[in-house]
Amino acid sequence: MAQDLEEKRAWVGLNLLPSLTPRRRGLLLDRFGGPKEAWEALGRGPLPELFGAAAPQIWAERQKADPEEELRKAARAGAHILTLEDEGYPEPLREIADPPPVLYVLGEWREEDRLAVGIVGTRRATSYGRLVAKKLAQELAERGVTVVSGLAPGIDTAAHEGALLAGRTLAVLGTGLGKPYPAGSERLLRRIAEQGAVLSEFPWDMEGAQWTFPRRNRLIAGLSLLVVVVEAPERSGALITADYALEQGKEVLAVPGPITSEASAGTHRLLKEGAKPVTCVEDILEELGMLPLGPRRATREPELSPEAAKVYSLLSLEPLTLEEIVVRTGLPHGQASQILVELVLSGLVEELPGRRFVRKPR
């Protein structure tokens, strides 16, 4: 599909008007027939017959909007802006109930990204949740599955980092690309753009608001064939993503957690309501119809001394303190400490705050 530049400018301009809600935009397009005609009509004056009391505000926003500058901002950052009329617009998003008419993209959505799984969860993730999200994402990416998430701290970030170890990932923002959340995530954002894409439907410099993050969750669900919730308390944006997935006719899977963990209260509710439990990547692959498993990237078994092997075999995704490791292995305190330092330096073990240790997913 081809689109002339004037029509693209019009779409971008309409998207810059915060008071032009999807319902009002629909009324405007129905009245004037297309984005160029609608954009020009808005410039001639308020339309109280369409927008009622909101008409003066929409007209004032139209006077300030500069779609040319918006296109320049994206171009300077190496991003591009797609509309529903453009080639390269992610096909799965055309199929959802409310596709974004404008999409800012840093990186590239590819046809292979149709095979995608959403991994979402709480920002206040436990070490268990982060490790599970990273492990599942890496193992999915090793099988050629694109991992979709929202760049937020906690489960989202862990999922992106796991996928980056082996393949592609897509991040959908609840802000404009020029104001990514959280602050300081620019380095991760660039890595994602190199091995996938960062996407947003919001204007370039738009900051996040209470409504923007729930709204972006419909795009995470829309880009995914199914959604996996790793950790979610009773009130969590991840559960909104799960609801969107169900509305779109997609399966929701959930990772069981400790029954005492508030971080897993929402995921346990999903399981009670019929979500498929995930205890390993095969549970997800089975739902995708990808079993029996194909070849997986080979990993080298670590070459360890008997004492180091004893410590390494003890560790799992559940963190242990140095004292607990000493008690369980019977090794002297100093020797156990030295072994842990060597395992951390070799990349086999991760040290968490409080001198707690977990095995890194491989």
For residue range 268-298, what is the model confidence (pLDDT) as tens digits?
Answer: 999 999 999 999 999 999 999 886 554 454 4
Helix (H, G, I), strand (E, B) or coil at 176: coil
The DSSP string of 50-97 is HHGGGHHHHHHHHHH--HHHHHHHHHHTT-EEEETTSTTS-HHHHTSS
How far apart CA 73 and CA 91 sit, in angstroms, is 25
pLDDT on residue 342: 84
How many other CB atoms are there within 10 angstroms of residue 186's CB atom? Answer: 9
**Cβ atoms 344, 359 nearer than 8 A:** no
pLDDT on residue 304: 85
pLDDT on residue 297: 45
Q: How are beta strands 80-83 and 102-107 bridged, if at all?
A: antiparallel
What residue ranges do the domains of the chain occupy? 17-64, 107-287, 306-359
**Cβ atoms 172, 215 nearer than 8 A:** no
- Indicate if the alpha-carbon torsion angle 151, 298, 128, 251 is positive or negative: positive
Compute the average pLDDT of residues 315-320.
Answer: 84
Compute the average pLDDT of residues 34-58.
Answer: 92
% of the chain with per-residue pLDDT over 70 = 95
Average pLDDT value for the chain: 90
Cα→Cα distances 186→123, 212, 256, Å: 18, 19, 32
Give 10's contacts (C-beta < 8 A, 6+ positions apart).
34, 35, 36, 38, 39, 40, 67
pLDDT on residue 305: 87
pLDDT on residue 362: 63
How far apart CA 194 and CA 106 sit, in angstroms, is 9
Would 107-287 and 306-359 be classified into the same CATH topology? no
The answer on pLDDT for 299 being more than 50 is no
pLDDT on residue 172: 98
**Cβ atoms 131, 164 nearer than 8 A:** no
Give the pTM. Answer: 0.80
Compute the average pLDDT of residues 139-153.
Answer: 95
Compute the average pLDDT of residues 180-194.
Answer: 91
The answer on pLDDT for 302 being more than 70 is no
How many other CB atoms are there within 10 angstroms of residue 235's CB atom? Answer: 10
Give the H or E element holding residue 220.
helix 212-223
pLDDT on residue 344: 85
pLDDT on residue 2: 45
Q: Which two tokens stand for residue 16?
A: 């810059």
Higher pLDDT, 36 or 355: 36
The DSSP string of 16-34 is T-TT--HHHHHHHHHHHSS
Q: Which two tokens stand for residue 319?
A: 């963190």
Give 171's contacts (C-beta < 8 A, 6+ positions apart).
148, 149, 150, 151, 156, 160, 189, 192, 196, 197, 198, 199
pLDDT on residue 292: 58
- Indicate if the alpha-carbon torsion angle 343, 346, 348, 353 is positive or negative: positive
- The least confident of 1-5, 166-170, 348-352 is 1-5
The answer on pLDDT for 198 being more than 50 is yes
107-287 is classed CATH 3.40.50.450: yes
The Cβ-side half-sphere exposure at 358, using a 13 Å CA radius, reads: 17
Give the H or E element holding residue 268.
helix 265-272
Give strand ranges (E) for 91-181.
102-107, 116-120, 146-149, 169-172
pLDDT on residue 268: 95
% of the chain with per-residue pLDDT over 90 = 73
Q: Which CATH class is domain 306-359?
A: mainly alpha
